[in-house]
Amino acid sequence: MKSKIILLLLFVCYNSNAQKTQGIIGESNWFNGWTNFRPKAVEYNQPNQILTGDIKENTTLTKGNVYLVMGTVHVANNAVLTIEPGTVIRGDYNSTGTLTITKGSKIIAEGTETNPIVFTSNKPASERKPGDWGGVILMGDAPINRFGGVSASFYEPNPLYSPFGGTNDVSDSGILKYVRIEFAGKKIDPKISLNGLTLAAVGNKTKIQYVQISFSSDDSIEIVGGNVDFSNMISYRANDDDFDYSMGIQSTVDNSIIIRNPYASDNTRSRCFEIDSYDKIENYDPTKKKTYIKLNNVTMTNDEENTMGLVKEAISLKTDSFIEINKCVVAGFSSFIALDDKYLEGDNFKKVKVYNSIIDSCSELFTNESLSKAQNVNDWFMKNDKLLYTSTIGINNLFINNNVKKKPDFRLK
């Protein structure tokens, strides 16, 4: 008991000296105006325009219309799809409405704080649920870790539009800003589900910021190769992973939050971040870049007090993948990071970089994939020079307001 009191006092003293420097930050609450944590309560207008087939020339979707995406709509032939602020696009359930930006084309979906762009279900408010429609897919020609440097999307059966990958780190697939994506991730066969947002070989001129993805039936965001950064992202109540990385992606996530429900999970062990460098070892190219993820001022939390439920580890880090964590807050998980067994051989765990972060109300810091404690790893990371702080404050006392039904504000108190 004495050690816990000392540890708690250390956290309180530290937090008073460095208030608001960990987790999401901002002079004001950047959730205001454009987010919605109760999307079932919104009555959207019925569609009066249908999007179907291929868009092969520059096209603008206007705020004055509501659009229904039927089947897979391809933006192709280097076309640019522009979406005005305040526009609503609804995905059709029966045809698994999906919007795909193919390699070489762009989406310019730049909403505003008061007029976000909304992608949502076409079902009535009371019937909406995760997996009502497909989602949004962007494909580019940035590098991927795979022999040959290119791959084909298993979400896309049309061979004209399925390839992604190349050598262009600075490729540009467009802009997503002040955008909400709700109730996406429909299954397309018993083993494959779409995601809220899928990025395949997207390059670093692509801008993705102020995007809220809610109630995805699979991952909120799946990122396959490429070189793309994120800021001011919100992943809310995904059924599978919030960010799922693979194929050598190079990515930084800044000032973003993951809000999990402890009882929303699938049977594949859902995590906030699942980080891998290859889908299958036989596809891995050791001459290409391995997955490297940087997290700055990211908050990861379960949204109910004193329960971990089905969601166990906040982060899963696989062999040949790397992570750098700085000024983050992780609250309410069984394990902070589950390391692949090869990371626990010798001193391999020292390749993991964690600095200046707060781990609150987690049963363990580092474990293996079976959630057994990795004691030598824990001891090393608790050294003072790592600035890793643990506490048992609890989410009801850690944040300004963690009630998602009442104007949530997940900045530290």
Render pLDDT for 196-248 as a digit per residue (tens, 0 to 9). Answer: 999 999 999 999 999 999 999 999 999 999 999 999 999 999 999 999 999 99
At 1 the pLDDT is: 41
d(CA 393, CA 298): 18
Read off the pLDDT band of 4 (50, 70, 90).
very low
Per-residue pLDDT averaged across 186-196, rounded?
89
Residue among 364, 329, 232, 228 at smallest CA distance from 14: 329
Q: 404 exposed, middle or buried (CB, 10 Å; 0-12, 13-18, 19+)?
A: middle
Q: Is the pLDDT of residue 300 over 50?
A: yes
Other beta carbons less than 10 A from residue 152's beta carbon: 14
Name residue 412's beta-bridge partners: 399
Other beta carbons less than 10 A from residue 9's beta carbon: 11
Per-domain boundaries in the chain: 2-412
At 266 the pLDDT is: 64
Overall pTM surpassing 0.75 (yes/no)? yes
What letters, b where the CB count within 10 A reaches 16 and e where it falls short, cover 52-90?
eebbeeeeebeeeebbbbbebbbbbeebbbbbbbbbbbb
- Amino acid identity for residue 405 in this structure: K
First-residue to last-residue Cα distance in the chain: 25
Phi-psi region of 72 (alpha: psi -120 to 50; beta: other; left: phi over 0): beta
Q: Is the pLDDT of residue 385 over 80?
A: no
Read off the pLDDT band of 102 (50, 70, 90).
very high
Other beta carbons less than 10 A from residue 401's beta carbon: 15
Read off the pLDDT band of 312 (50, 70, 90).
confident
CB 117 within 8 A of CB 136: no
Q: In this predicted model, which residue has the larger pLDDT, 381 or 182?
A: 182
d(CA 330, CA 333): 8
Q: Please count the CA atoms within 13 angstroms of the CA of 151 that sit on its side-chain side.
A: 26
CA dihedral (405, 410, 411, 412) positive or negative: positive
Range name among 105-109, 177-181, 360-364 with the lowest pLDDT average: 360-364
Residues in the chain: 413
CB 399 within 8 A of CB 391: no
Read off the pLDDT band of 195 (50, 70, 90).
very high
CA–chain centroid gap for 7, Å, is: 31
- In this prediction, what percent of the chain has a pLDDT beyond 70? 92
Per-residue pLDDT averaged across 32-56, rounded?
96
What rounded mean pLDDT belongs to the chain?
90
